Amino acid sequence: MKRSILDLSQAELSEWVAALGERSFRATQIRGWLFGKRAPSFDEMNDLPKALRQTLADEFTLFGGNVVRHQIAKDRTEKLLIEQPDKQTVECVLMREPDRRTICISTQVGCAMGCVFCASGMLGLKRNLSRAEILEQILRLDRLLDADERLTNVVVMGIGEPLQNLPTLLSVLDEVTAEDGLGLSPRRITISTVGLPAKIEELARSGKPYNLAVSLHAPNDELRTRLVPINENIGIDAVLAAADSYFEITGRRVTYEYVLLGGLNDGPEHASQLAALLRHRNAHVNLIPINGVETLPFAEPTAPRVDEFIHILESSGTAATVRKRKGADIDAACGQLRLKEAVQLEAPQ
């Protein structure tokens, strides 16, 4: 099977070009087409000699997967379902706002973390995505933009636990931030994690100030372990300590995500406990009212409860915002990715 050219780093592509006896600027041209000029195929790379375009097409695929579904929501959020040759599917989303274009990408097929309110993990973890498979999501979404539009933000909040696929993710983000890649500032990239302390340290040492979002979801271990089972072996103290050190090393204020589950973790007592945990930390809380997942028994929080929750946090000095919901009519919202298709594709006949 052909490799995807997206699996090659800049250095590897240069070596490949050199091994063909081509001049080194050809590698620069090829990367220009892949990243900046959004070529749809090797054949469109029209400042390369025809023979080189043919060699590229003989040896590599540009994108290894096929888009098997492309949905556009009323708010112009777009979602792609990409099927890889092994039939596993990958989901990713483009969200538009007047001044930003944010993409949300996946790092694994399925997820092993088992959060009880999340659709991504319901079928377990199948495998990590490769560098090319993650870059494919980014570059396909980028190719949906108008010619004069540029991506402004990347959130690694799709399917999977990004820190379980960290070396691959870092190599992808190197291309997103590279000047001859997509040229985004690391400050415009957010990695969301369930909170794996050793991996958070590793990320901090990557040397790039990515934003870190930690999915806390509960203010005490008893409740957190019920909602986020992996917490049993970790504990909130260790998660917060790792996040503190992330802040010290990178200087980036950490965001804590907190999904509000009506009647479960959205009470004033939970807000007060959370406020006490975060009071002396430079933190921001992103509240996510649960997006209903069919077959899961969780209720949306009522508006007055959400307001009270925010009020308690803010009056103790912790900034809090409620996440806007985008693409709800195409199941593009948090926690909803892939499940429907997966059930359709994987259900026994």
Binding residues vs ligand SAH (CB under 6 A) = 113, 115, 117-118, 157, 161, 192-194, 215, 257, 259, 288, 290-291, 293, 334-335
Catalytic residue among 92, 104, 118, 334: 334
Instruction: Find how far residue 12's CA is from the centre of its chain.
Output: 26
Least distance from ligand SAH to the Cβ atom of residue 122, Å:
10
Residue 259: count of CB within 10 angstroms of its CB: 27
Q: Which is nearer to ligand SAH, 5 or 214 (CB)?
A: 214
Least distance from ligand SAH to the Cβ atom of residue 254, Å:
12
Answer whether 93's CB lies under 8 Å from 77's CB.
yes
Answer whether 27's CB lies under 8 Å from 10's CB.
yes
Q: Which is nearer to ligand SAH, 142 or 257 (CB)?
A: 257
Q: Can you give 146-209 as a three-state secondary structure string?
A: CCCCCCCEEEECCCCCHHHHHHHHHHHHHHHHCCCCCCCCHHHEEEEECCCHHHHHHHHCCCCC
Q: Which is nearer to ligand SAH, 68 or 299 (CB)?
A: 299
Tell me if residue 334 is catalytic. yes
Q: Which is nearer to ligand SAH, 4 or 291 (CB)?
A: 291
Residue 188: count of CB within 10 angstroms of its CB: 17
What is the residue whose two structure tokens read 């043919």? 54
Least distance from ligand SAH to the Cβ atom of residue 157, Å:
4
Least distance from ligand SAH to the Cβ atom of residue 215, Å:
3
Question: For strand 78-83 and strand 66-72, is the pairing parallel, antiparallel, or unpaired?
Answer: antiparallel
| Radius of gyration of the chain from its Cα atoms, rounded to whole angstroms | 21
Distance CA 78, CA 80 (A): 7
Least distance from ligand SAH to the Cβ atom of residue 222, Å:
18
Q: What is the b/e burial string over 164-173, where b = at least 16 CB atoms within 10 angstroms of the residue's CB?
A: bbbebbbebb
Catalytic residue among 91, 136, 175, 257: 91
Tell me if residue 104 is catalytic. no
Dihedral of CA atoms 21, 22, 25, 30 in degrees, nearest 10, equals: -120
Return the active site residues. Answer: 91, 334
